[in-house]
Structure 1
Amino acid sequence: MILSPDHVTIAVADAGRAIEFFALLGFRKTHVATIDGGIPAKYMGMPNMKAQHITLALEGAESPFEIQLLEFDLPQGTDAGVHPTNLRKLGFNHLAFRVDDIEAATAHLVANGVTMLSDEMDYISRKLRLFEGPEGITFELVQRDA
């Protein structure tokens, strides 16, 4: 059912330093988006979220793999580690698994008691769906367009 890892999303305080670090490992910036509410913020369960979303692709990888950085625009005096959802803390955010049929994968997980954390969303030529793993860790299914 799982084809390969797709991306890891990491919330960071300083995206510039993170981009430089991952460049050392062969990642190249391929996409930058500003999230200011809207569909991506709602999808992640934070409808008022403001952040920079930076995609870094691993160059030369046989199967596409990305590091996606989130640099939150936090209200002044806010501790980046204190938020009502684990998706907003610094550090590990979620791990995404590539699948060839997101509907079938979702049905399989739901049939086995897994909690979906979002509706399916189309974004950057992909179908996406968040779900909850052990210990409340967030994971994601990704079906890329051909």
Structure 2
Amino acid sequence: MDLAHVAIWVSDLDRALEFYGALGFEETNRFTLDGVENVYVAAGGGDGDLQLRHDPDRTTPIAPSRADTDHVAFTVDDVDATYEAAVEAGAAPVVEPVEIDAADAYAAFVEDPEGYTLEFYRTG
């Protein structure tokens, strides 16, 4: 079994595409269903996509909560460079790049423009 995609709601589709584009994500698919725009993006030829969902008629705020979805993790070749690119693209720093001995990983965390926490990591 493989993970196909993770879907997140965004309030500004153009801003989300610009942010994820700055991190090397490219659009892989797009469609509108029942008035909701769905844009799939992927980075580095990895398995799975990130689905950006946008409802231009939505009246409730998008309020990601780490109590409900802690974070979305991405493996990267260069944690430091990806972290810096994310911050330059508008992400808020959460945890600067750090060794996580228990996981045998080097990782960093940021919040994307919607407030979703993203982890960038490499193992070993």
The TM-score range, normalised by the shorter chain, is 0.3 to 0.5
* TM-score (norm. length: structure 1): 0.39
* TM-score (norm. length: structure 2): 0.45
